[in-house]
Amino acid sequence: MKAVILALFLLFALSLQAQTKPTVAEAEQFMKQAETRLNDLAVKGSQATWVQSNFITVDTEALAADAIDEATAATTELAEQSRRFDGLQMPPDLARKFKLLRLTLTAPAPKDPALRREMTQIGTSLEGDYGRGKYCRTPNDCLDITAIERIMSESRNPDELKDLWVGWHAIAPPMRQRYARFVALSNQGAREMGFKDVGAMWRSNYDMSPEEFSADLERLWQQVRPLYLSLHTYVRARLVQKYGPNVVSPDGPIRADLLGNPWAQEWGNIFPLLGLPQSNQDYDLSALLKAKNVDAKGMVKYGEGFFTSLGFEPLPGTFWERSLFTKPADRDVVCHASAWDIDNQDDLRIKMCIQVRGEDFVTIHHELGHNFYQRAYKNEPPLFESGANDGFHEAIGDAIALAITPEYLNKVGLLEKVPAGSNDVPELLKQALDRVAFLPFGLLIDQWRWKVFSGEITPANYNQAWWDMRLKYEGIAPPVKRSEADFDPAAKYHVAANVPYTRYFLAGILEFQFYRALCRESGYKGPLNRCTFYGSKAAGAKFNKMLEMGQSKPWPDALEALTGERQIDAGALLEYFAPLKQWLDEQNKGQKVGW
């Protein structure tokens, strides 16, 4: 009798399980509702954070925190509910949406509403602290980051540079305790969603396992490291000539304040110190812009013109009405350049404190790359409205910026005639000072942060580990002794604002792959570094084919659509800089390579 009862019970249990097992139709319905809800909250959040970034007050921070908290709560809830469909065989597109839903948040929050709220408030306060940050040399001489960047790009006084560097980095120590709490809370959220920690969650967003992605990054770094070492060796020797061995070690790391900006992440501003003779190819883009009386909005018009020359539609009228182009005189704003897609359709904007200079002209082309990408994939479902991976999003505008050649500047009327010289080294060196010098910086920020998330780096050694990594990857050292009373990572916007950074390293390699493919499609023949595909509708059509895919397919599919390749590879970058590498190695004979 007992056996019969047990059998009946098992049959009932199996019947009940069959009745409750989810179906593909239910999964599709769940996802449709989830995407609608997330899209509505994304628009609300974009509006709130736009205001917060442009009017930094206690009230706007609170409003932004509310919007972020609501979106975080909804995403966390939906990600948890989506687990009901684990193991269900779904069509590939639907399965991809479920995967991406769980990877939506860069700051996964705990389920506990009070903890979630605490985390979002900390996040907005950290970004607000950065945006308000100033260094006051005297009570009447307070400098924000825009002013500090400008002075450090031009000053050749090592004492002044040291003072500015120390002054800016002093904004960060008050963030340290809150940052550690933010890490703990977001890690709790990541674990509740089934990830080891936030770093593992971030690394899961590349259509491969976290371990495979880490190995791929190391492969790419080893490809480009010899070129970086050659550049570092050459620059260090020239800085020794400029400042003397008491300021710059002839065989050690380079002081972080001497390389042209507060973070030593791009070195282009020190090009005049490197002793190259004037080339008949040489020109000063900043001077060209000023000679034409180009203002901030006019610079953006040039950027738009590049994309329209490829066949893209002009930016909407609201872009020109709603963007922030210059720093207001009456309030604090987050001046870090960014591109915005407020409604996931056509409300595109940029936010920049534009200065009329070559550096900002290039940055504008980069930011507009985001906007044109955003509009290209606007017809995809909400969860596919993103770059193939985040490195793609950064690389789009950078590939356009590579095509800012003398030929391009001549075609748009900024340069009277194209220089006829055959020596490419000065221009290649300028490019390398920004693009090659940036690569280890682009890599190390998340290498540091992933170890923070995993617990390998603890709050007790945040700063020491930061400088150990900067030394390891970049050969850079602080201008003054640092301690754990400092918190130098948070003097960089992306750390304070919790923006993943490996995307910029990937973009620094992808941009050359994109650029080479676009040059080939335009029919260009010749040295890669002299190509511009401005005006090529054929290149634009192929470009758009990749852009409109968004994140609907694994990124190798998107890469293949433009380049014919399925692996991120530094071969195009090394081809571009090959003449420079040969020249640098000749200049470096007898010098110690490395530090």
130 is an active site residue? no
More confident residue, 15 or 52: 52
Catalytic residue among 27, 474, 494, 576: 494
> Is the pLDDT at 18 greater than 50, yes or no?
no
Cβ(356)–Cβ(296) below 8 Å: yes
Which pLDDT belongs to residue 61? 86
**pLDDT tens, 374-419?**
999 999 999 999 999 999 998 998 999 999 988 999 999 999 888 7
The answer to whether residue 184 scores a pLDDT higher than 80 is: yes
- Which position among 169, 232, 336, 393 bears the catalytic label? 336
pLDDT tens across 276-308, in order? 765 545 678 899 999 999 999 999 999 999 999
Q: Is the pLDDT of residue 13 over 80?
A: no
231 Cβ neighbours under 8 A, 6+ residues apart: 432, 433, 436, 437, 584
- Cross-strand partners of 337: none
Is the pLDDT assigned to residue 15 strictly greater than 50? no
Catalytic: which of 169, 232, 365, 366?
Answer: 366
How far is 152 from 157, CA to CA, in rounded Å?
A: 9
* Catalytic annotation, pick one of 170, 337, 538, 578: 337
pLDDT confidence of residue 209? 93
Residue 3, pLDDT above cutoff 60:
no
Sign of CA dihedral 281, 282, 284, 285: positive
Q: Is the pLDDT of residue 89 over 90?
A: yes
Predicted confidence band of residue 76 (pLDDT cuts 50, 70, 90): confident
In angstroms, rounded to a whole number, what is the distance separating the alpha carbons of residues 502 and 525? 32
Q: How confident is the model at residue 14 (pLDDT cuts 50, 70, 90)?
A: very low
DSSP assignment of 531-555, as one string? ---TT-HHHHHHHHHHHTTTTSS-H
pLDDT of residue 79: 87
Task: Report the number of secondary-structure helices (H) and strands (E) in the chain.
Answer: 24, 6
Known active-site residue 416: no
Band (pLDDT 50/70/90 cuts) for residue 57 is confident
The single residue of 61, 367, 427, 521 carrying the catalytic annotation is 367
Mean pLDDT of the chain: 92
Catalytic-role residue among 504, 524, 534, 576: 504
Name the pLDDT band for 1 (thresholds 50, 70, 90): low
**232 catalytically annotated:** no
Q: What mean pLDDT comes out for the span 429-447?
A: 96
Give the range among 267-281, 445-459, 521-535, 542-556 with minimum mean pLDDT: 267-281
- pLDDT attached to residue 420: 72
**Catalytic status, residue 393:** no
Type of residue found at 159 = D
pLDDT, position 459:
97
Q: Which residue has the tokens 């003398």?
A: 406
Share of the chain above pLDDT 70, in %: 95
| pLDDT score recorded for residue 16 | 44
Cβ burial, residue 486 (10 Å; 0-12/13-18/19+): buried
For residue 346 the two structure tokens come to 């056509």
Residue 19 pLDDT: 52
Catalytic residue among 169, 232, 365, 370: 370
Query: Is 366 assigned a catalytic role?
Result: yes
Distances (CA, A) of 495 to 149, 169, 179, 183, 259: 18, 13, 9, 11, 21
Tell me, what's the pLDDT at 277?
Answer: 64
- State the catalytic residue, choosing from 149, 266, 394, 521: 394
Q: What is the pLDDT of residue 98?
A: 93
Mean local confidence (pLDDT), 71-79:
88
Q: Per residue in 129-177, pLDDT tens?
A: 999 999 999 999 999 998 999 999 999 999 999 999 999 999 999 999 9
At residue 252, the pLDDT reads 96
**Beta strand 338-341 pairing with 135-138:** unpaired
CA 457 – CA 143 distance, rounded (Å):
32
Asked whether the beta carbons of 573 and 438 are under 8 A apart, the reply is no
The answer to whether residue 367 is catalytic is yes
Q: What is the pLDDT of residues 214-253, one digit of tens each?
A: 999 999 999 999 999 999 999 999 999 999 999 999 999 9
Q: Which helix (H) or strand (E) holds 137?
A: strand 135-138
Q: What is the pTM of this model?
A: 0.87
